[in-house]
Amino acid sequence: EALGPQEYTALKMEVSQWGERAAEVAKQLPEGSRTYFVAATLRPETMYGQTNCFVGPAIEYGLFQINEKDVYLCTDRAARNMAFQGVTKERGVIKKLASVKGEALLGTKIKAPFGIHPEVYLLPMQTVLATKGTGVVTSVPSDSPDDYINLMELRKKAAYYKIDESWVQYDPIPVIETPTYGGMTAEALVKKLKIQSPKDALLLAEAKDQAYKEGFYSGTMLVGDFKGQTVQEAKPKVRDQMIAAGLAFPYAE
């Protein structure tokens, strides 16, 4: 764990179509409002490769009125932090419109900022922590071992996880090349460390560490406006572009 505050990029993923299971909560939102799932990431430069987005099925989320039109979906804890980081009009003040459990969000379709796939589905991930970030994790299975193994698990056991097979159809997309692992760093590390399931916590922590170091220190962008540049150069530039476009904001905790 870092000693100082962790600086995330909070990615705004607008709902394009609520899933059937979210009908109840969708009804509680003001007419004409736009709802965004807010995902905290440390790797904004990978967002071209989003294939899904994860929530914890048992986690309780809130929907928060941010301004006249915009509603953010995240944990209460993250909303409170945001209210003290200048996200709301009045410091420390945030209005909760509704609560919803993660499992009701599965199958909702959202926009993926900068994504090669412009829209992605909400899926369950058992290991999402309610105590970190926003409780919403955007999935980049090419570069995140956690995202990769979880996608493979869901594909193998779609019925068990009560998801539709059409929600897991996007394959990982190569967006960053590393000298050791090529364009699919996460997949290569999952295979190298023989990780079998999302429950292999220790091995996944090791894979995550290696993927991060390899990507950050040796990675080159394969796509996007900074194609050919190193990850170290591109990361702050992609982040700035997202923020300038109103698709992200800084979030720390």
Interface positions with ligand A2H (CB under 6 A): 6, 40-43, 46, 128-129, 132-133, 135, 137-140, 143-144, 147, 208, 212
Based on CB atoms, which residue is closest to ligand A2H, 2 or 93? Answer: 2
- Whose tokens are 């190569």? That residue is 174
Based on CB atoms, which residue is closest to ligand A2H, 41 or 108? Answer: 41
Q: Report, in Å, the least distance between residue 240 CB and ligand A2H.
A: 17
Q: Report, in Å, the least distance between residue 32 CB and ligand A2H.
A: 30
Q: Report, in Å, the least distance between residue 94 CB and ligand A2H.
A: 19
Dist. CA 213–CA 222, nearest whole Å: 18
How many angstroms separate the Cα of 202 from the Cα of each of 65, 92, 102, 131, 167? 38, 38, 25, 19, 28
Based on CB atoms, which residue is closest to ligand A2H, 26 or 206? Answer: 206
Based on CB atoms, which residue is closest to ligand A2H, 35 or 50? Answer: 50
Based on CB atoms, which residue is closest to ligand A2H, 19 or 172? Answer: 172
Q: Report, in Å, the least distance between residue 71 CB and ligand A2H.
A: 20
How many angstroms separate the Cα of 126 from the Cα of each of 40, 129, 197, 227? 17, 8, 12, 34
Six token digits for residue 121: 């589905």
Based on CB atoms, which residue is closest to ligand A2H, 29 or 237? Answer: 237
**Strand bridging mode 248-252 / 7-17:** antiparallel
Residue number closest to ligand A2H, CB atom: 133
Does residue 39 contact residue 120 with C-beta atoms inside 8 Å? Answer: no
Dist. CA 24–CA 12, nearest whole Å: 22
Does residue 53 contact residue 123 with C-beta atoms inside 8 Å? Answer: yes
Does residue 35 contact residue 63 with C-beta atoms inside 8 Å? Answer: yes
Q: Report, in Å, the least distance between residue 31 CB and ligand A2H.
A: 31
How many angstroms separate the Cα of 201 from the Cα of each of 150, 176, 183, 198, 214? 12, 24, 24, 7, 20
Q: Report, in Å, the least distance between residue 128 CB and ligand A2H.
A: 4
